[in-house]
Chains A and B, each alone.
Chain A
């Protein structure tokens, strides 16, 4: 399967040769599926739908139980045995059953569409991340890194539209804040990712991971490592940076007017973003599916390592929600422009110097 064309098979040739008649659609569709389809297990279960939903459900439950412990209380207790396992399904069912209240003076097409986009578009980005050397759902080859940032570039627009559409003062301010935050937070990340691509010599995520076979990029590019780690909090709006959804000031930021399953979608979107950025962080800096280098011998690269690193990072990031208060908007912008962007450029400079000297 040639990896440089996005769509392959007769459909591509037909489209180019524009003899496109209604008659041979069924055959084209079947042939397209045959060529481009991945094993069903991969699509449905691991890197695909199952993993996204499974992590969202696990993260909600884990966060409520883990943070409850930090607050010296028990967390979900009655629903599904003492561990409260069914609490998340109960919440989802409740949200599913609830009536979706759409206020009158609202631009309802945008209002209804935005939460759906917010939870589906970032999950597209998840397909680019290599879970194993041949285990990439959407193999666009050397386009995968810029494709990830292209898709993730759309993600901040959606809260801005829905904040504007819900015609509510609090969501209006929340929408502004999303715009400020992504402008000041996203640029350093792209520069750091560029640094990684330069050091790995290619923009294909699989090659980036293979380049980290014997030394993870976290070691040489430590500044980029720290910045991208901060980037996870900024992009997925976790605690030190959950400024757009600051319950304390703005009732619920841009999500104030949502109820029912739309609110459920916005909650799930938060975890999909968090998942996508954490996996990207592991792929770029912690050597994706490569095992740790023990006594000079790189252990076999296997999907288990990716999931293990992912789990450890998730636990650490969730714990930080209890540890740090929230930043103010102007402090966040100052941090983004005055500290993160120059540091990212510095990191890029070091990477180029190391590349020229051939150190790594």
Chain B
């Protein structure tokens, strides 16, 4: 497993995919944050896995910014060689968040995408079995982790 530190990962990725990167920085020697624009989301992920050695999927989740009308989907990946953690982010429009599913690159993300689908209402197309994950199957109360969630009763 190649040992490449977070800082020169940032420089290498910047050089390799300049058009895909919206913003990338590494504040802490063991962290790297990469925001990708939506079109090149999947092939940037493929190159991350193949050329840069980010083999290990850690987790995935979303965060809702209602005031500037966007939901950011974050995937946490780990580099098994030098053990730094990359947060691979993509911004989605809040009204109808759609995203190609990342299970085609790391299939361990299927649980986390099912949870994001339930909690935030993000549509992942291409997901193998998009069934309810944590919430009860007959849940009609909308998406709980959105900021404007008022509870199952009022929905």
Q: Quick check: do A and B touch in the complex, using CB within 8 A?
A: no
